[in-house]
Amino acid sequence: MKAHLALLLITMAATLAWLLAPWAVRVCRAKGLLAGADDRHIHKTPTPHGGGFILPLVITPLGLAAVWLLQLPFAPFLSVLLIASLLVAWVGWLDDHHHLQPRLRLAVHLLAVGIGLMFLPQLFDEFPLWVEKILLLLGWGWFVNLYNFMDGADGLATTEAIFISLALALIVPPFAPLALLIAAAATAFLRVNAPPAKVFMGDVCSTWLGYVLGGLLLVACADDTWTVIWPLATITLVFSADATLTLLRRIAQGHAPWQPHRTFWFHRFLALGSSHRRLITMVAILNLALLAIAKTSLLFASSTASAIGFAGGILLIILALSVITHLEKQHKQHKGSHHAKSKA
């Protein structure tokens, strides 16, 4: 009975998101929400943005139904997570319209994270509760924002949401109904967000996804924290490594963390002449490799093996970033030699 109900809710999420997607494009056009080439976006043609508002609208009520009708674990936390996520979506929607101050956005994000943490069970017995809450406030708050930062290519953030949700369902099956519901709705949104995108998801959706997925990843660790946390961290590495390394590099260069830019590794890959579709394909391949590492490490049912798997995932990401750096050097050399020949 529960399996049939879960399938029904997942199907409803996909169907509603699919049907609402073209309407979202029209709404964004009507409101004049257009993004073109600027300090963050690389698209030359103005494209509607903010269309991802349909995902919170679809997933929140259906997700709440899944939590209670299917009796998912940690139902109070999941309920608060979904309800508080609307606060994140709301400030994202306002930012898409009015470009709010970064400090105001961050304050709302941390408020929503704080609300969620009040209902999250303690994960680490090794730390005092107040220390854990502070660390999780910073980590979860960063995940909300890094997900927003990484929304800069057609279908990239949507595809990553699909992957993280599917991987979470495989790694921690008790949360599969809610994770698959998110994946189904996100897949349907690709109808208008896949390359070439007819609409961008906007802050209303990217920050919302960062908040909901971040909360899900945390609560999924609750029963066996040290064994599960490393595989779950592994499946986020494509986004978390790119955003974190780029932020640290820019801070070292004297840039403000909130200043828009186009120097993430995925931007640099696109700057080499790659298409958005090729970027999505390469990210998908990386993600599948990370999932294989995460699942393999779980076979040993050991926190040590899980940590080793995470280290393996980091090495894989370092290899991928090294390839991009090598391609950039080749690209510069080619341009330099071509320029020298043209002058001669």
Q: Which has the closest alpha carbon to 140: 112, 98, 180, 103?
A: 112
- Residues 200-239 pLDDT 10s: 999 999 999 999 999 999 999 998 889 999 999 999 999 9
Is the separation of the CB atoms in 263 and 246 below 8 Å? yes
Contacts of 325 (CB under 8 A, 6+ apart): none
For the whole model, what pTM was predicted?
0.94
Is the separation of the CB atoms in 192 and 174 below 8 Å? no
| H-helix segments, the chain | 2-30, 54-69, 75-98, 102-119, 129-149, 156-171, 176-193, 203-219, 225-234, 237-252, 265-271, 276-298, 303-343
- Residues 22-37 pLDDT 10s: 999 999 999 988 876 5
First to last CA, the chain: 76
pLDDT of 287 over the 80 cut: yes
